[in-house]
Each structure stands twice: as C-alpha cells, then as structure tokens.
Chains A and B, each alone.
Chain A
C-alpha cells in the first residue's frame, strides 16, 4: 500500500520555483486500479516518478508497505523497484537491438535469475501476451501493439506487486488500446496494484478510481467500476 503524506515537489526553472506537487496526500491500497488524469504540466509524471522511487520529494513522506521509500538508499530503492514495481511506458522503451525474448529477460537478469530461468519465464510471459511466435523478433519487426505487449510481458517478468503505467495507450490505435487495457485489467485481477497516468478518458474509465491533478494538487474524482 502507498501512503503519500503532504508531498511537495518543487523545481527551479530559469530562476523560478515551479511546484509540480503541492502538499499532495494520497492513499493507494493494495490491488487498487487508479487513473491519474490532468492537463499537461499538472504533475502527473512527477507523481509517477515519486511513486516509483526515482524522485525524492522536496518535502513529505512516501510510504510503501509501511516503509518510508526515500529513507532507503538509491541502491536499495533500485532493488526494491526491481522486486515490487513494474513500469509500462507510452513509447514502450524496448531495447531496439534485443529480441522480444531478450527484452523480457532483462529484469530477470537484473534480479539474478539464471539463464534457464530467464528463458523459461520470458517464454511464459510472451505466451501470456500472445506473442509466443514472435520471441526472436526485434521491436522494429513488430507492430506498435505487439511492442507494447512485449513491454507488458517485461513488466510482468518479476511478478511485481505494483504496475506504474505512463500513458500506456498513448501511441496505440483504439483496437490495440482496448487489447492493452484488457491485459492491464487482467493484471489487476491477478491482485496487482495499477497506477496509470493518462490523458484519455476512455482509458481512465478502466480504473477503479480517478485522481485529477491540477497544479500539483490531487482531487479525487470518482470511484468508477472497472471496465
């Protein structure tokens, strides 16, 4: 469970202080599916970075499963990310010179799995997203939707408890978007917590909760049903 208390994040840009998160309070229970919406520059990505343990807030506390995230060292947070948190990116962020299988193997390699364990798990995950026939293809040899499914397989590789998704359907057509959201919904039903940043109301509608960020301030918008 995430617990954000009075989290403020400020940047200095050209001598001016910009407030990305302003005294934000947010509780995200386990197995929640939350959409974070808001205009550009409202602090959505900053919030995702803070939740991912990659950006220490200027003030405030971020607790994950009862542990203060930013009391951990950089290396400890990195290790925690590898174990508990999976990421889904808008532009997929696959490594272009590795095959689909190798891309899925990366988090497994980083968590110290053997080559055999990596391969078996990667094949299992690619099979789950319907790409068992594309394991040796490079990203450039696959469609956008297939690339995002490889990215989803990579996200699931270490069986993370939390998935942080940054505009996961932003680069996809409507049919593929539906497919990707179905997968995210599946992952949620597996018991995972999903935190998704999106501009798209249709995509946000898949979430149980929607949080609107305006000028760094969080507003609970709705408790919707999962699609």
Chain B
C-alpha cells in the first residue's frame, strides 16, 4: 500500500462532494477548451477564406456600414458605374481586376429572389476606351508586373463556376443567369432551364457549387441587364477589386481613396480583422470564463477539503499517532486535490472538444479537431487551482493535535 492507494480509496469513499467540485473544475476547462478550439479553427478558416478570395478590396458608397463581406452589395446604397471606368483609367499599381455589382430584389414565378448584376471580364474588353489604354490584353494591371504575390484572379474563370470562388466570370450573356446552389434547389432549376425574370426570359447558364455563403441563395445576371430591367440606371452597389496582396495591405488603399474620395474603401483585411477581433474577444472571454469557473471550482474544492478535514479529524489524528508525519498528511490532501484537478482538466478537455465539435459546424460552419495543447493547459490550470485551493485545508489537517485520538480528548 502506498500513499496514492490511500488517497484513491478515500476519494471513492466520499464521492458526492468530490464530484460536485470536479464538475465545477470540469466546467471551467470545458469553457476554455470549447471556446479556444472554435476560435482557433475559426481563425484558420478565415485565413483560408482570405487566401481563396479573389477580391480583397471593396469600394462602397460612403454611407455603408459593412457587416458581411459576401453581403457587401446588399445595403441598397448605390454609386455611379462610372467609378469603375475611373478606376480602370487610373491604372493604379496593384489592381488586378475589377468586379462591380448591383443587387436588386426580383421574383421568379412569385418566388422572391436576390438578383445580383455582375460585369463579366469580356465587357471590359468591349469598351473601346479601355482597350485603347492597353489594359486588357491581360488581366487588369498584371502587365505592369506589380505583384510578387498575385491575388488569385482565377486561371479557370472561363468556367462560370469560377464565380463561386474568384468573384469574377469571363463571359455572361445579356439573358443568362447563374444560380446559387440553394436558390436552384428552391426554384427547382437546372442548367439550361429558362426562368422569367423582370419581364424577360433568362437561361440558366450554370448552378454554382455550394459556397456556404449568402451567394448560395442568389441569382447572378449581367450588370447592364439588371440595371436596365430594374430601372436602377447606371449604378452599382459595390466595386470589388482583386488587388495584389502586398499592395492591398500597403499604399493601394491610399491611392484608391485619392482616386475615389466620394467612396469608402474597405479591405478584406479590415473585415477579417473585425472577425479576428471578435475571435480575440472570444479567446479572452474563454480565459475569463475559465478563471471564474475555476475560482468557483477552487472555492468548492477548498470548502469540500475543509469539510473533509473536519470529518476526518480522528482518522488524521490516528494516522499521526501511529507515525504519519505532517508532511504525509499534507501530501494526502494535496494528492487528492491533484487527482481532482487532473481528472477535471481531462474531463473538461474531452467535454469541451465535443462541445466545439458539435457547435463549431452549427454556429460558424467550421470543423474542429482536438487540440492536444489544450489538454495540457486545461489539466495544468485545473490542477494548480485545485492544489492551491487545498493548501490551507491541508495545512490545517497537518496541524491537528494527535491527542484528539484519545477517548476523552
């Protein structure tokens, strides 16, 4: 028999108060693990999304408050399409491509749809004035060799499905529409079908693959068709710019603001920063939750340990009478606290990881995997709290007078 055997047997002798303390510690670590797990994988997804996004700068009407990158054209505010021409003519270094958009509400067989007008790249080439500037033999700006790291303008964007990832398309007819996956399902439409829209018949060019964004519920048509048929005139809601990554992070924004002072320039980095800031807040909150719950757990453990010392006075006195040192008695209580901390930390890691694995896909559309590092953090923090909380009770136990073992003591 060893000390650990003694601790283990005693632990199971009085399981209820210990399980209560264990629960508090477990909850603290669960909160930490779940939130940290979701935060980390959310940040990774954002980083991945940022990499895959072609457009990394948005030009918006000045009054717009951007809530969602994918919904940047859903605010109802407009600006002249002429800004697109101005941007192209400015030949700003770093601009790889431009994608103006106009978003209107429409109906297809009484089903309300969000119709987004987009300008295919071929449209730029059709504009003689731009061609005259020699910009469009290649992608906008790429002939200037500005990019050490080119934004992904999509080698495959001759495929209409490239709209899902690169936000641009090479060709789009006046009466063609592209459907998001969810909307196609809702309308029961497939490639080649004809849909009545704004009083005209449109042919479904393709159905986009699922993106997990609001684009899945949208319908895309030629910008000028949307402008004409909706009566909006030559305006757009947003101009998405595919910019060189380095330039988008550097002087490009200043140049764009100078070129279009009437607009608001937002980089995707800013949008991402907002999300990252939210994630950072969540991360910090997880530490706050951990601290609060571990404090509660620590207080609970301290209370249970004090009660345990009182309950076991005679037992401790007997042990001391038959040769147990104060150090042994202290170790008996701190060992018990360490077991509680380790068990609470491990249980919290398992529960927290399960919670993150369940809630991650549901709340944020992210898939999380266990993070072994959090097992170490959870177990270490829970054990430290449990041991520290038990220091005073253990000291009290070790300070008991062994004379209390006698009959009339």
* B328 CB, nearest partner CB in chain A, Å: 7
Q: How far is the CB of B404 from chain A (nearest CB, A)?
A: 10
For the complex, is A74 an interface residue (Cβ under 8 Å from B)?
yes
Known A-B contacts A45-B407, A97-B10; A115 and B2 likewise in contact (beta carbons under 8 Å): yes
CB contact list, A68-112 vs B, under 8 A:
74-75, 78-79, 81-83, 86-87, 89-91, 93, 95-98, 102, 105-107, 109-111
Residues of chain A contacted by B9 (CB below 8 angstroms): 97-98, 102
Question: How long is the Cα–Cα vector from A45 to B407 in the complex, in angstroms?
Answer: 8
Answer yes or no: A142 CB below 8 A from chain B CBs.
Answer: no
**Residue of B6, B319, B323 most packed against chain A (CB within 10 A):** B323
For the complex, is A48 an interface residue (Cβ under 8 Å from B)? Answer: yes
Q: Choose among A52, A79, A90 the residue that contacts B407 (Cβ–Cβ < 8 A).
A: A90
Roughly how many angstroms separate A167 CA and B403 CA in the complex, as a whole number? 14
Q: Which of A52, A79, A109 has the most CB of B within 10 A?
A: A109
Quick one: given A78-B324, A78-B325, A107-B322, are A45 and B409 in contact (CB under 8 Å)? Answer: yes
Asked if A95 meets B318 with Cβ closer than 8 Å, knowing A45-B406, A110-B328, the reply is: yes
Closest beta carbon of chain A to B363's beta carbon, Å: 46
Say how far B185's CB is from chain A's closest CB, in angstroms. Answer: 64
Q: What distance in Å separates the Cβ of A191 from its nearest Cβ neighbour in chain B?
A: 21
Q: Contact between A95 and B315 (Cβ–Cβ < 8 Å)?
A: yes
Given contacts A45-B408, A93-B405, A167-B407, contact A109 B322 (CB under 8 A): no
- In the bound complex, how far is the Cα of B322 from the Cα of A95, in angstroms? 12
CA gap between A55 and B386 in the complex, in Å? 33
Q: Which one, A45, A52, A79, A83, contacts B321 given CB within 8 A?
A: A52
0 or 1 for each of B318-342: is its CB under 8 Å from A? (1 = yes): 1111111111100000000000000
A146-174 with Cβ < 8 A to chain B: 154, 158, 166-167, 170
A78 contacts across to B, CB distance below 8 A? 320, 323-326
Interface range on chain B (Cβ under 8 Å from partner): 20 to 34
Whose C-beta in chain B lies nearest to the C-beta of A91? B407
Query: A95 to B219, alpha carbons, bound, how many Å?
Result: 77
Q: Does B1 contact A (CB under 8 A)?
A: yes
Are B326 and A49 in touch, CB under 8 angstroms? no
Interface residues of B in 298-325 (CB under 8 A from A): 314-315, 317-325
- Interchain CB contact under 8 A, A79 and B403: no
Contact with A along B391-409 (1 / 0, CB 8 A): 0000000000111011111
A97 touches B13 (CB 8 A): yes
Report the count of interface residues on A (CB-CB < 8 A).
Answer: 38
For the complex, what is the distance from the CA of A220 to the CA of B307, rounded to whole Å?
A: 44
B347: min CB distance to chain A, Å: 24
What residue in chain B is nearest A98 (Cβ atoms)? B9
Question: Cβ of B324 and Cβ of A110 under 8 Å apart?
Answer: yes
Most interface-central of B13, B314, B402 (chain A CB within 10 A): B402
How far is B2's CA from A118's CA once the two chains are assembled, in angstroms?
Answer: 10
| Interchain CA distance A201-B117 in the complex, whole Å | 110
CB-CB contacts below 8 Å: A165-221 with B: 166-167, 170
Cα A90 to Cα B405 in complex, Å, equals: 10
With both beta carbons as reference points, the residue of chain A lying nearest to B11 in the complex is identified as: A97
Contacting A at CB under 8 A, from B46-87, are: none
A170 touching B402 in the complex, CB below 8 Å, given contacts A87-B321, A95-B318, A102-B1: no
- A residues lining the B interface (CB < 8 Å): 40, 45, 48-49, 52, 54-55, 74-75, 78-79, 81-83, 86-87, 89-91, 93, 95-98, 102, 105-107, 109-111, 115, 118, 154, 158, 166-167, 170
Given A81-B323, A86-B322, A109-B2, list of 10 further CB < 8 A pairs?
A45-B407, A45-B409, A79-B323, A79-B325, A81-B321, A89-B406, A96-B13, A102-B9, A110-B328, A111-B323
